[in-house]
Amino acid sequence: MFWRSVVGKLWFTILLLVCFVLFILTVLLLEFFQNYHVVEAERHLLQTADRISDVVDRYEQEEDLLLSTTALVKDPASRAVIVLSEEEQLVSESDSDSLPVLDYAWFENDEDTKTVLNEGLDVKKVADLGNGETGVMVVGTPLDNRDGAVFVYQSLDTIEETSEQTTKIIFLGAGIAIVLTTIFAFFLSTRITAPLIKMREGALELAKGEFNTKIPIRTHDEIGELAMAFNRMGRELKFHINALNQEKEQLSGILRSMADGVITFNREGAVLISNPPAQQYLEAYEFERNAASASADQTSLPEPLMDLFNDVITDENESMIEMTLQGRSWVIIMTPLYDKEKVRGAVAVLRDMTEERRLNKLRKDFIANVSHELRTPISMLQGYSEAIVDDIAESKEDKNELAQIIHDESLRIGRLVNELLDIARMEAGHIQLNEESVEMEPFLNRIIRKFSGIANEKSVDLNLKVEGEFGLIEFDPDRIEQVFTNLIDNAIRHSDPGSEVQVILEKEENEWIASVKDSGYGIAEEDLPFVFERFYKADKSRKRENKNYKKGTGLGLAIAKNIVEAHEGTISVHSKLREGTTFTFKIPFSP
C-alpha cells in the first residue's frame, strides 16, 4: 500500500534518480582516481629517477654514498637500479619484500626499457614479470653525462592500496549521500503530500455533505493555491447546493399547493415527480383495477396515461383526454419535455372536474327541484281550495278531508322551507350545538325502537351492534338523532322485504364511529359524489312504490353532512348497485 501512495512514489523516484546519478559518478570517479594514481605514481617515480640521475652525476665514484643518497631520495617501498654498464649496476634496497631485483638483461630485453639505454629516452610502463609476482611500474631516465640509465620501479600493490582507500572513501560518500537523500526525499514527499492527504479527507467530507470543511493553508506555493481553490470550491458547492435545495423546496411547495395533479415522466414512462392530487388519481386507479384483478401490478402506469404518453412521445404534440374514475371526472393534458432538441419525457396535468360538473349540475337542478317540490303542494292547495270554494265537496266529511290535505301540503311546504333555511344557516356557519353528556346505548336503542314499527311493516330486520364500552359522550343529541333518523329512514326505505339494516357503533382512540348498513338497491357510481347535495334523490322517477311513506325533500343527507361537520366530524358513503349501501360518520371525542 505504501508503494501506491504519492509519498512512496515520490520517495522512490527521488531515491532511484540519486542512486543512478551516484552510480555514474562513482564509476567515473573510480576511473578518474585510478588513472590519477597511476599518473601520479609515474610522475613521482620519474622525479625520483631524475634526482637519482643528478646524484649519480655528482657522486659517480662513491658507490656507498650514491646508494645511501638514493635510499634517501626514493620511496622506501620502491627500488632503484643504476645501470652504469652491462657489467656495472647498482641496486638499492626496498622495504617491500615482494619487489624483485631486476638486472641489466631484463632492461635490455624489454622493448620499452631498452630505448632508455640505446636511445636515451625516458620511459614509463607497467611491466608484468610473468613469474607470478605482482606487476610493477617501471620508470627509466638516461644519465646526463655518460652512458647508462636510472630505473626506478615499485609494486602495483601500493597503487592498488591507494585506489582501494579512495574507493572506500567514494563508496562511503555515496552511502552517506543515499541515506541523506532518503531522509530528504521522505521529508520532502511527506511535506508535499500532507496537504494532499488533507484535501483527500476534505473531499470525502464534501462527498458526505460536510460543506464547512476547511483545508489549512500553510504555504503560498502551488499546493497552497490548490488548498485555497479547494476551500473556495467547498463554499461554492455549499452555496449552489443550498440554492438547489431552496428551488427544490419551492418547486415542491408549489406542486403540493396546486389544486391540479402534476406527474412528470422520463422517456421510459417512469414517474419522476407527482403531487398529492396526482397521487389521489393513481391510488384511485389502483383501487379500481385491484378490485377487478387482485394480482394486478401496482407499480405499472395507468393504461390511459400510458396510451396518452406513447402518443405524446411519438407525435411530440400536446394531447388531452377526459375520463371518469371512481365517480370523479378527470381532464388530463400531457405535454412533451425537451432536452434541447430531443424529447426527454413528458409532464401531465390532471384536473379534477368533478366539483365544476357538480356545481353545473346543481345550478341546473336547483330551480327544477325547488319548482317541482313546491309545484305539487301548491297545485294541490290551489285545486282543493277551489273545490271548497266552488262547493264541490258537499258534505262536511268531504270538506274536512280536503282541508286535511291542504293542511298536510302546507306542512310539507313549511318543512321544505325550514330545511332550506336550516341548510342556509349551517352552510353560513350559524348552527348552534347544545352539547350534553349522553349514554350511547340507551340513546341508540331509543332511536331503533322508534323505527321498529316502520321496519316491521316492510319486513326489514333492523338491529343494533355496539363494539366496545361506551360511557358518557359529549354531543348535541337532537342533531345527532336527526342524522341517525335520516340515515335509518333512507336505509329502510331502499331495502327489499326480508333484508337487514344494521346500525353499528365502534370506538377508536380519538373518535367514535357510527355506520348504517343496508343490503338494498345501492347507488350508481356516477351518483356517489352527489348524494350529500341538496335535492339529491336516489329515485330518479321521483315516485314512491309504497304510498304509506311520505315523500322526501332530498335535503336530509345535506343536513346530516352539515350536522356532522359542525361536530368536527366526517361522513362518507360506500355503495354498489344491487349490493347495498353503507353510510359512515366519525365524530371525535370532546376534549
Query: Is residue 335 included in any domain, yes or no?
Result: yes
Question: Of the residues 318, 352, 386, which one is the last residue of a structural domain?
Answer: 352
Please determine, for residue 215, whether its predicted confidence score (pLDDT) is greater than 70: yes
**513 vs 103, more confident:** 513
Question: Of the residues 391, 426, 461, which one is the last residue of a structural domain?
Answer: 426
**509 vs 518, more confident:** 518
pLDDT in tens, 530-562: 788 776 665 554 334 444 444 555 677 888 888
Query: Is residue 231 included in any domain, yes or no?
Result: no
7 and 101 in a single domain? The answer is yes
511 and 562 in a single domain? The answer is yes
Please determine, for residue 344, whether its predicted confidence score (pLDDT) is greater than 60: yes
Query: Is residue 535 included in any domain, yes or no?
Result: yes
491 and 552 in a single domain? The answer is yes
287 and 378 in a single domain? The answer is no
pLDDT in tens, 393-410: 667 777 788 788 788 778
Please determine, for residue 60, whether its predicted confidence score (pLDDT) is greater than 70: no
Query: Is residue 215 included in any domain, yes or no?
Result: no
Label residue 477 by pLDDT band (50, 70, 90).
confident
Domain of 560 in residue numbering reads as 431-588
Which of these ranges, 75-79, 166-170, 293-297, 399-403, has the smallest mean pLDDT? 293-297
Give the amino acid at 41. Answer: A
Residue 420 belongs to domain with CATH number: 1.10.287.130
Which of these ranges, 296-300, 400-404, 499-503, 571-575, has the smallest mean pLDDT? 296-300
Query: Is residue 206 included in any domain, yes or no?
Result: no
Query: Is residue 338 included in any domain, yes or no?
Result: yes
Among 146, 535, 186, residue whose Cα is nearest residue 371? 535
Residue 484 belongs to domain with CATH number: 3.30.565.10
Calpha distance 122→128 (Å, rounded): 19
Q: Given this model, what pLDDT does residue 296 score? A: 38
Report the alpha-carbon angle 29-35-38, nearest 5. 140
How many distinct structural domains can be found in the chain?
4
528 and 548 in a single domain? The answer is yes
Query: Is residue 580 included in any domain, yes or no?
Result: yes
Q: Given this model, what pLDDT does residue 427 score? A: 64
468 and 580 in a single domain? The answer is yes
Average of per-residue pLDDT across 120-124:
73
Q: Given this model, what pLDDT does residue 17 score? A: 86
Calpha distance 403→398 (Å, rounded): 9
Calpha distance 322→331 (Å, rounded): 5
pLDDT in tens, 346-359: 888 888 888 787 77
Say how many residues make up the chain: 591
576 and 448 in a single domain? The answer is yes
Question: Of the residues 295, 330, 352, which one is the last residue of a structural domain?
Answer: 352
Residue 306 belongs to domain with CATH number: 3.30.450.20
Q: Are 273 and 264 in contact (CB under 8 A)?
A: yes
Q: Which three cell numbers stand for residue 480?
A: 345527532
346 and 415 in a single domain? The answer is no
16 and 138 in a single domain? The answer is yes
Looking at mean pLDDT, say which of 183-192, 292-301, 326-335, 403-412 comes out highest: 326-335
338 and 312 in a single domain? The answer is yes
Among 216, 46, 19, 28, residue whose Cα is nearest residue 116? 46
Q: Given this model, what pLDDT does residue 134 score? A: 65
Q: Are 567 and 587 in contact (CB under 8 A)?
A: yes
Calpha distance 72→49 (Å, rounded): 12
370 and 416 in a single domain? The answer is yes
**380 vs 435, more confident:** 435
148 and 49 in a single domain? The answer is yes
H-helix or E-strand spanning residue 4: none
Please determine, for residue 21, whether its predicted confidence score (pLDDT) is greater than 80: yes
Query: Is residue 375 included in any domain, yes or no?
Result: yes
Chain-centroid distance of CA 203 in Å reads: 16
pLDDT in tens, 362-380: 667 666 666 666 776 777 7
